[in-house]
């Protein structure tokens, strides 16, 4: 027989799935627009604010479930994990929005600042991959996928630092292009961090184990 709290947990999971779909779409549009010099700031802003509103719905529903049903340890662990995942998905939207604002604020075309020697396209694709993997891990509650996030995050860090090194070596780079690139790759690195947080939450939800995926592969190598 289903418990009343199970209905609430199912509602929470559906909210997360909705957030995941929107978050992936928001990040993808933002990154594509930066690489191609497209104007999507307003659309990404709306999607980002929608993700924040959905995150608040998750939090409100979670608090209601705790107050009404006094959940046992496993249910409480699920609720806690869902709340953290919702927050991290909302951060995807915020960083995506920030990315669309960079070239507007600095009055420079992002495509003019993408230098062939910088592995920004590689970093861009890896971040898309880690976002997709994190959202699929949420859909499936998949520990294996969650741990894979740690591997991808390690790859993101490697390319991120390579971008920093290459920027330092650039000749005749304008201040605006330098700042544009720095902000973009930093936002990408932060998106990858939040993907790792999501992976950690999935592992905790399923196994009860608290681990850190950030920099794990670098530390073990």
Quote the pTM value.
0.93
Contact 22, 50 (CB under 8 A): yes
Q: Does the domain spanning 4-220 belong to CATH 1.20.58.220?
A: yes
Residue that the structure tokens 């009404």 belong to: 68
Give pLDDT tens digits along the chain (221 positions). Answer: 578 899 999 999 999 999 999 999 999 999 999 998 888 999 999 999 999 999 999 999 999 999 999 899 999 999 999 999 999 999 999 999 999 998 888 888 767 787 888 899 999 999 999 999 999 999 999 999 999 999 999 999 999 999 999 998 888 888 888 999 999 999 999 999 999 999 999 999 999 999 999 765 444 43
In whole angstroms, what is the distance from residue 209 CA to residue 201 CA?
A: 9
CA separation, residue 8 to residues 80, 186, 202 (Å): 14, 37, 19
Q: Which strand (E) or helix (H) includes residue 212?
A: none
């Amino acid at each position: 027989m289903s418990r009343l709290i199970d209905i609430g947990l199912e509602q929470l999971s559906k909210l997360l799935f909705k957030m995941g779909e929107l978050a992936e779409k928001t990040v993808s549009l933002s990154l594509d627009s930066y690489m191609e010099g497209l104007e999507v700031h307003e659309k990404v802003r709306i999607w980002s604010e929608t993700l924040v509103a959905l995150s608040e719905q998750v939090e409100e529903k979670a608090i209601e479930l705790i107050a009404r049903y006094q959940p046992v340890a496993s249910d409480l662990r699920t609720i806690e994990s869902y709340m953290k995942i919702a927050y991290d998905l909302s951060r995807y939207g915020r960083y995506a929005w920030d990315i669309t604002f960079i070239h507007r604020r600095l009055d420079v075309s992002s495509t003019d600042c993408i230098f062939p020697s910088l592995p920004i396209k590689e970093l861009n694709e890896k971040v898309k991959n880690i976002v997709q993997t994190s959202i699929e891990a949420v859909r499936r509650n998949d520990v294996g996928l969650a741990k894979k996030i740690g591997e991808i995050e390690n790859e993101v860090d490697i390319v991120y630092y390579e971008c920093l090194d290459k920027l330092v070596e650039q000749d005749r780079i304008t201040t605006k292009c330098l700042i544009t690139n720095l902000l973009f790759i930093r936002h990408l690195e932060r998106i990858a961090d939040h993907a790792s947080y999501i992976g950690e939450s999935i592992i905790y939800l399923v196994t009860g184990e608290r681990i850190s995926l950030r920099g794990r592969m670098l530390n073990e190598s």
